[in-house]
């Protein structure tokens, strides 16, 4: 099979799949498939709740056919899988979405078809977990009748500059011919170029360690922030001084969440443990970053007490609920731990995030967010996310939302620190 004969279906039209399908549709006809009927209906109307594409961008994709009907998958010979790979309550990999999609593809898989996985997994997952399901339901033999590739997603939700086409792409295949086909396919759309890994396992490992490395670096900064807080030393001044050395890495402390950095290390930890090695550094970093919500809430309460603000029934405004800036995704957001800890202290919490729908906030927090900010209402404010819309607000306008005696935490260091009680 040569590249021009590939007929593509992108399965899973979320933050990763939709921009990818759009990019491929500039070069060839693409089926964009998602099992969520509401998602398909919204996209056909030009509505992308992830905010990755505008209505104009969606409607201009003339070669993109959006559907939730599985019968259309029979017409393709290359399936690109972009479904989520979360963890369960025990922080173990939850492969249900990935394995269900593999079963669905297995039922339509034909001789010489290629299945390319983009979902972040542990090394070996594609060949050890997905391939047996493809074989079982297709009755075909791997690397004889059908082939696989792995090209991990490198999307950055909310980033309008670094899009899928200008981020270098790792590619791989289950044999040399397939690896070349997969690499050439992605070269059609990736202007930044590709890196062809020697095996699927190498590509899987490369992806999972990218986010694990970032998690470790942030954990180190969180640890330093906690130490310097105890020593009553301004972290930002320390960071400013340390940055004068040419090879110092200026990561910042903060809440770690979302469906990548806060999840992917658990996949590597899981695979490592079942292979007989207990990864202490990675596990410790995960533990610390997961606890940062509790620590920030404790710091906030401590600062309120120092200012003689009564904790019980104090009214706190949380500005920003998503896991990162300019993105409407609430999944695994670190701010939820801050909210829960403050509520345990009997604080009254107002939630505010213009990027997230009331329906999703109600589902996550059990109550709706406020839509209007009122002056002189709050004993404290936590600015948790650096949304563009928040940056446009003058810090003096935010101060006016508070009572005379107040605590303001600016977790993303958006504003001049002289106006706030804590920046991270």
Per residue, the 3-state secondary structure of the chain, as one string, reads CCHHHCCEEEECCCCCHHHHHHHHHCCCCEEEECCCHHHHHHHHCCCCCCCCCCHHHHHCCCCEEEECCHHHHHHCCEEEECCCCCECCCCCECCHHHHHHHHHHHCCCCCCCEEEECCCCCCCHHHHHHHHHHHHHHCCCECCCEEEEECCCCCCCCCCCCCHHHCCEEECECCHHHHHHHHHHHHCCCCCCEEECCCHHHHHHHHHHHHHHHHHHHHHHHHHHHHHHHCCCCHHHHHHHHCCCCCCCCCCCCCCCCCCCCCHHHHHHHHHHHCCCCCHHHHHHHHHHHHHHHHHHHHHHHHHHHCCCCCCCCEEEEECCCCCCCCCCCCCCCHHHHHHHHHHCCCEEEEECCCCCHHHHHHHHCCCCCCCCCCCCEEEEEECCCCHHHHCCCHHHHHCCEEEEEEEEECCCCCCHHHCCEEC
| Residue 93: burial class (beta carbons within 10 Å; 0-12, 13-18, 19+) | buried
Looking at 3.40.50.1100, 3.40.50.720, 3.30.1060.10, 1.10.150.120, the CATH number of the domain 3-198 comes to 3.40.50.720
What is the percent of the chain with per-residue pLDDT over 70, rounded to a whole number? Answer: 99
Looking at 1.10.150.570, 3.40.640.10, 3.40.50.720, 3.40.30.10, the CATH number of the domain 215-423 comes to 3.40.50.720
Mean local confidence (pLDDT), 88-115: 97
Lowest-confidence segment of 180-184, 201-205, 260-264, 318-322 by average pLDDT: 260-264
Give yes or no for residue 2 having a pLDDT over 70. Answer: no
User: Mean pLDDT across the chain, nearest whole number?
Assistant: 95
The model's confidence at residue 422, banded by pLDDT at 50, 70 and 90, is: confident
Domain with CATH 3.40.50.720 in the chain: 3-198, 215-423
What is the percent of the chain with per-residue pLDDT over 90, rounded to a whole number? Answer: 93
Give yes or no for residue 1 having a pLDDT over 60. Answer: no
CA distances from 122 to 125, 209, 239, 266, 410 (A): 6, 10, 34, 9, 35
Q: Is 260 labeled as catalytic in the residue annotation?
A: yes
| Residue 285: burial class (beta carbons within 10 Å; 0-12, 13-18, 19+) | buried
Tell me the pLDDT tens digit for each residue of 9-62: 999 999 999 999 999 999 999 999 999 999 999 999 999 999 999 999 999 999
Annotated catalytic residue within 260, 327, 347, 402: 260
Give yes or no for residue 374 having a pLDDT over 90. Answer: yes
64's tokens: 């993109």
The model's confidence at residue 251, banded by pLDDT at 50, 70 and 90, is: very high
The model's confidence at residue 156, banded by pLDDT at 50, 70 and 90, is: confident
Are the C-beta atoms of 181 and 1 separated by less than 8 Å?
Answer: yes
pLDDT of residue 333: 92
CA distances from 106 to 100, 235, 296, 328, 337 (A): 10, 53, 47, 33, 40
pLDDT of residue 258: 84
Q: How far is it, in rounded angstroms, from Cα 108 to Cα 76? A: 9
Give yes or no for residue 229 having a pLDDT over 80. Answer: yes
Q: How far is it, in rounded angstroms, from Cα 407 to Cα 307? A: 8
Q: Which residues in 150-183 are b (16+ Cβ under 10 Å) and which e?
A: bbbbbbbbbeeeebbbebebbbbbbeeebbebbb
Q: Which residues contact 293 (CB under 8 A, 6 or more apart)?
A: 255, 334, 335, 336, 337, 338, 340, 341
Mean local confidence (pLDDT), 202-212: 96
CA dihedral (58, 61, 64, 67) positive or negative: positive
Give yes or no for residue 77 having a pLDDT over 60. Answer: yes
The model's confidence at residue 121, banded by pLDDT at 50, 70 and 90, is: very high
Give yes or no for residue 212 having a pLDDT over 80. Answer: yes
Residue with tokens 């090394």: 123
pLDDT of residue 311: 97
Query: Dihedrals φ, ψ of 10, to 5°?
Result: -100, 120
pLDDT of residue 259: 84
Return the number of other C-beta atoms located less than 10 Å from residue 14's C-beta. Answer: 21
Mean local confidence (pLDDT), 135-152: 98
pLDDT of residue 3: 63
């Amino acid at each position: 099979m040569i590249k021009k004969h590939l007929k593509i279906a992108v399965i899973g039209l979320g933050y990763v799949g939709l921009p990818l399908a759009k990019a491929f549709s500039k070069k060839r006809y693409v089926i964009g498939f998602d099992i969520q009927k509401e998602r398909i209906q919204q996209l056909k109307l030009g509505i992308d709740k992830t905010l990755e594409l505008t209505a104009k961008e969606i409607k201009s994709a003339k070669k993109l056919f959006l559907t939730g009907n599985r019968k259309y998958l029979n017409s393709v010979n290359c399936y690109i899988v972009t479904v989520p790979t979360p963890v369960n309550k025990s922080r173990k990999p939850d492969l249900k979405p990935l394995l269900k999609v593999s079963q669905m593809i297995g039922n339509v898989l034909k001789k010489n078809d290629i299945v390319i996985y983009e979902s972040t997994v542990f090394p070996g997952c594609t060949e050890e977990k997905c391939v047996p399901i493809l074989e079982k339901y297709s009755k075909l033999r791997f690397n004889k009748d059908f082939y696989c590739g792995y090209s991990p997603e490198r999307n950055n939700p909310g980033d309008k500059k670094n899009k899928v086409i200008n981020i270098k792409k790792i590619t791989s295949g289950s044999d040399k011919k397939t690896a070349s086909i997969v690499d050439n396919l992605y070269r059609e759309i990736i202007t930044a170029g590709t890196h062809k890994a020697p095996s699927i396992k190498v590509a899987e490992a490369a992806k999972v360690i990218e986010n694990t490395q970032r998690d470790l670096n942030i954990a180190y900064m969180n640890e330093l922030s906690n130490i310097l807080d105890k020593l009553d030393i301004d972290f930002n001044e320390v960071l400013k001084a340390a940055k004068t050395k040419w090879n110092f890495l200026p990561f910042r402390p903060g809440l770690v969440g979302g469906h990548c950095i806060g999840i992917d290390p658990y996949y590597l930890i899981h695979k490592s443990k079942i292979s007989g090695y207990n990864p202490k550094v990675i596990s410790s970093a995960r533990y610390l970053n997961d606890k940062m919500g509790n620590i920030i809430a404790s710091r906030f309460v401590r600062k309120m007490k120092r200012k003689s603000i009564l904790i019980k029934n104090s009214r706190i405004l949380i500005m920003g609920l998503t896991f990162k800036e300019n993105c409407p995704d609430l999944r695994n957001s670190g701010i939820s731990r801050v909210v829960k800890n403050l509520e345990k202290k009997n604080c009254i919490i107002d939630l505010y995030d213009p990027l997230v729908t009331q329906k999703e906030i109600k589902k996550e927090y059990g109550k709706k967010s406020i839509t209007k900010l009122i002056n002189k209402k709050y004993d404290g404010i936590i600015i948790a996310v650096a949304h563009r819309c928040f940056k446009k607000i003058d810090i003096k306008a935010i101060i006016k939302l508070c009572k005379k005696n107040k605590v303001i935490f600016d977790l993303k260091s958006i504003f001049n620190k002289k106006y706030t009680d804590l920046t991270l």
